[in-house]
Amino acid sequence: MANYFALGLTLATLLTGIFWLLARTVGAQSTRTPTAAGSSPALATSRRFPAWVAWIGDFFPMILLVFVVRSFLYEAYQIPSGSMMPTLLVGDFIVVKKFSYGLREPIFQKQLLATGAPQRGDVAVFKYPEDPSIYFIKRIVGLPGDRVIYRGKRLFIQPAHATAAVDQPLTVDYQTLSSDLSHATGEGLTTLVERLGPVNHQILISDQPTDLSFYYQQPGEPLSEWVVPPGHYFTLGDNRDNSRDSRFWGFVSQNHLVGQAVAIWMSFEKQPGGWPTGIRWQRLGAIH
């Protein structure tokens, strides 16, 4: 499916580029005009195009810069929900590095050049597999070939190259930071530090039981266990009991990847659907 904003930006870049080129190549024509006897002919300029052609062309450098940066380098997104708490909050504005997972043409997102692949622990933006017009942000926990198990609200991973028992947490370790009662929901929430290889990040766990009946069951695998297919990734939200992620709909194709979330550039104090009430300056910085 085409990205219509990217399509519009591409067309605007092409249109202003054509006008910019016309204004600088054939937009002005030099002619000789007669003058008084005994003097040299004067050089005069007559325009073949109206002034608005040059005016539109003047926007080309700025639009070209926006096109290159947004299409191939970096793009800004706003966090609309709490599925990635405490890492990301509603009102956070993030920067996504688009070339982390390959350079792609901006309209249909076909890869032009391989520049890298997701690593376990990355916070990634991708097109929602069930509706590619929607963008999701989650943490990548399973790489192609991994066996991923989510049992007792703990994550277990057998990497593709490992030979140990599948119920042994090979790359995942936990440390409890705090436990409290959420006044909004009346449920107990525990903050843990989860270690995925070299990546340490905080997650939230609820004391409410998990309904496994909504989990995606991969053919041939037990419930709450998944083997990541080639060219796909398994994702989880950091707010583990309030996130619709790979546990419910399956895997993310590498073709749906948009980029890696690398920094928070602005953060407003706000509720979903509400107006900002302040700025959270302390949240600005890199995403882990």
Give one DSSP letter per residue of 252-274, joined into a string.
EEGGGEEEEEEEEEEEEE--TTS
- What DSSP element (H or E) covers 124? strand 123-127
- Nearest 5°: CA angle at 208, between 169 and 137? 65
* Residue 279 amino acid letter: I
Question: Is 83 noted as a catalytic residue in this protein?
Answer: yes
- Do 139 and 237 contact (CB within 8 A), yes or no? yes
Question: Is 138 noted as a catalytic residue in this protein?
Answer: yes
Q: Could you tell me whether strands 42-47 and 74-78 are parallel, antiparallel, or unpaired per DSSP bridges?
A: unpaired
- What DSSP element (H or E) covers 247? helix 246-249
Q: Which residues have a Cβ under 8 Å from the Cβ of 65 and sit 6 or more positions away?
A: none
**In this structure, what token pair is assigned to residue 4?**
């219509």
CA–CA dist 97, 131 (Å, integer): 22
- Do 138 and 122 contact (CB within 8 A), yes or no? no
Count of positions (residues) in the chain: 288
Question: Which of 83, 100, 243, 267 does the annotation list as catalytic?
Answer: 83
**In this structure, what token pair is assigned to residue 235?**
């994702």
CA–CA dist 150, 280 (Å, integer): 33
Answer left, alpha or beta for residue 191, where phi above 0 means left and psi between -120 and 50 means alpha.
Answer: beta
Question: Which of 71, 98, 138, 267 does the annotation list as catalytic?
Answer: 138
Instruction: Compute and round to an integer the Cα radius of gyration of the chain.
Output: 26
Q: Which residues are catalytic?
A: 83, 138
